[in-house]
Amino acid sequence: MPVVTIQPSGKTVRVAPGGVLIDALRLAGEPFEAPCGGQGTCGRCAVRLIAGDAPESPGAPPADLPPDMRRACLARVGETDLTVFLPEAAGRAEDRDEESGDPAFTPDLSPDILALSPLAEHLKLAVPGARPEDGLSDADRLERALRPVCGEAEVVLSLPVLRALPDALRRRAGRIEAAVVREGRLLHVVDLAAGTGAGRIGAAIDLGTTTVSVQLLNLADGRVLATRSGYNDQIARGQDVISRINYAAAPGRLAELQARAAATINRLLRRMRRDLGLAAADVVCAVLSGNTVMLHLLLGIPPEYLRLAPYTPALLSIPPLTAAELGLDLHPGARVHCSPAVGSYVGGDITAGLLCAEMTEGDAAISLYIDIGTNGEIVLGNGDFLMTCACSAGPAFEGGGIDCGMRAADGAIAAVRADDATGRASYTVIGAGRPRGICGSGMIDLMAELFRHGWLEPSGRLSRARPSPAVAVEGRRARYLLAGADESATGRPLAVSEADLENLLRAKAAVYSACTLLLDQAGIGFDALARVYVAGGFGRHLHLENAVTIGLLPDLPPERFRYLGNASLKGSSLLLLSRAHRERQQALARRMTYVNLSHEPAYMDHYTAALFLPHTDSARFPSVAKR
């Protein structure tokens, strides 16, 4: 097989002829991102050929690249050895370390909110020595030592624990440390190893359609040790849940998507463990939250019936699993609890995220919870009722489907202002360096600014009536130049096309119309809402006024909005740390009424009406009309 050499790192990997170059780079430990889903439209994965050749797939979309550059998502490894150079600002995913104190990622651990009762407990036991007259096995004696702790619960000892037990008891004279997880009437012994790490670390995982976030926590005191996020490797096989369901239908592809999801989580885990000096065996439990499709794919359960009437999931409440069963790089026996889903497209990310909102306990005021992401999920309710639905917003909010789109990471344009006289953009870049692309909040700012100053028509098309040096008209289409080649970190101009703006327009219409439908079914208007909770990791940089200007969020006083950050991840962390929250989540899931938009003809009417800036009914957005 030909050898692919990667410079400047010097890494090498053997790949079968015909293999996709981006897969070879990932195999070598270069986690490239593909915001366009591997369609070759974003150019973010371009690499330089030094030796050999890697032709791009026939029929590939055109790209403005030098002759020695190839898009790794389209290039195929030939019959001979290949050497490629990765430019400094190429599309390496650069999984992002989040600040441990960032409220967007950190659970509220104040004493009045949380009584620490972690999923995995660390027990110090004194097991009596063996005596011939007792006739007790090592397992019997361990169970007796656990009885004061577990009460009437049945002790479950896995085969690896049984194998370790005899030596552990005798080497330590019966004084052992055990990591245990309670699950109803069962008490699972996960590990018997002593040490400062074993039994004290848990993982919270948010398995998003576009972005995956993982957090490691100290179960003894609730401290967040590290948080990391990155693109879901499944993006290369489809940008949204429907495209992945379709992809999974062919033989072997479901297993591929399962492996890609696990590989993404493991990549993030390994980086954090390396930085913290932890071993995989130190992480003895995990809580994983994601939408219903993502959980089906991670478990290797065929998802095809989720898109076919009557849209039935294989299951909503997933029994506890082990890390080994899921292929996760934790302690092999680590107990993995998946947050319960509610319907075909409203998953555990919502039942976890709602733990961060104040709309469920004895509150008569009605609130709206909006999780802005690829799979937009909405909840309406109070202490008496909860209604929920999901809409396919697409990946635009997370930088996907945008020519120069990227996640909210270093190098992303996160805020934009447009000059009223020229239309040229000024912008703020995360990390304060040169821009590599634009993230969701930057796109929302850009659309709002261009619309506000007359450079963008209500239909979402760039105005031809007002010439601007930043707008290039190419036949029937136009592009808006954000940054020239001399300004960008990629050495290529960063531009937003009308197709990109249309993607964002459809995304905001999907979310707003889903909110409208739920309120209609409840018989109330937006003015009746006491609070609007906005969840989603990208929204740390979201400017509320601009989100209202484009018609993504309702036109309400700013004080009614609450930003929760990555509520799915924060909720998963709370579930790791608190039995009360675990019980509360189960009760929430049982209370929620799922509204399937596929069964609601009115949804398409609402959606069509929202495909306008800010909306076809301008009376819905009086503050925008006044500007």
Backbone angles phi, psi at 49, to 5 degrees: -85, 130
pLDDT at 48: 87
- Amino acid letter, 513: S
CA–CA gap between residue 553 and residue 615 (Å, rounded):
11
Please tell me the distance from the alpha carbon of residue 78 to that of residue 591, in angstroms, as a whole number. 56
Q: Give the CATH H-level superfamily of domain 201-348.
A: Domain of unknown function (DUF4445) (3.30.420.480)
A 10 A CB-CB count for 543 gives 18
What is the rounded distance in angstroms from the CA atom of residue 566 to the CA atom of residue 541? 12
Q: How high is the pLDDT of residue 113? A: 46
pLDDT in tens, 580-589: 999 999 999 9
Q: To which residue do tokens 């993504």 refer?
A: 552
Helix-strand-coil split of the chain, %, nearest 5: 30, 25, 45
Q: Is the pLDDT of residue 301 over 90?
A: yes
Q: Out of 2.60.40.1730, 3.40.1400.10, 3.80.30.10, 3.10.20.30, which CATH number does the structure's domain 1-92 have?
A: 3.10.20.30
The CA distance from 84 to 207, in Å, is 32
Q: How confident is the model at residue 346 (pLDDT cuts 50, 70, 90)?
A: very high
- Is there a contact between 77 and 21 (Cβ–Cβ < 8 Å)? yes
**Mean pLDDT over all residues of the chain?**
89
| Type of residue at 193 | A
Mean pLDDT within 84-102:
61
Tell me the pLDDT band of 491, cut-offs 50, 70 and 90. Answer: confident
Closest CA to 213 of 560, 597, 570: 570
Neighbours of 69 (CB within 10 A): 20
Q: Rounded to an integer, what distance in angstroms lies between the CA atom of residue 295 and that of residue 286? A: 14
Residue 196 — very low, low, confident or very high, per pLDDT cuts 50/70/90?
Answer: very low
End-to-end alpha-carbon separation of the chain, Å?
63
CA distance 326 to 574: 22
CA 283 vs. chain centroid, Å, equals 21
Quick check: bond before 8 cis, omega within 30?
yes
The predicted model gives 403-414 an average pLDDT of 88
Confidence of residue 105 (pLDDT cuts 50, 70, 90): low
Torsion from C-alpha of 299, 302, 306, 312, nearest 10 degrees: -90
Q: What is the pLDDT of residues 174-191, one digit of tens each?
A: 899 999 999 999 999 999
**Domain ranges (residues) in the chain:** 1-92, 201-348, 359-627
- Tell me the three state secondary structure of residue 302: coil
Pairing of strands 375-381, 201-207: unpaired
CA distance 373 to 349: 11
Poorest-confidence range of 100-114, 130-144, 369-383?
100-114
φ/ψ of residue 427, rounded to 5: -150, 165
Q: How many CA atoms lie less than 13 Å away from 493 in the CB half-sphere?
A: 13
Pairing between strand 201-207 and 211-218? Answer: antiparallel
pLDDT tier, 110 (very low <50, low <70, confident <90, very high otherwise) = very low
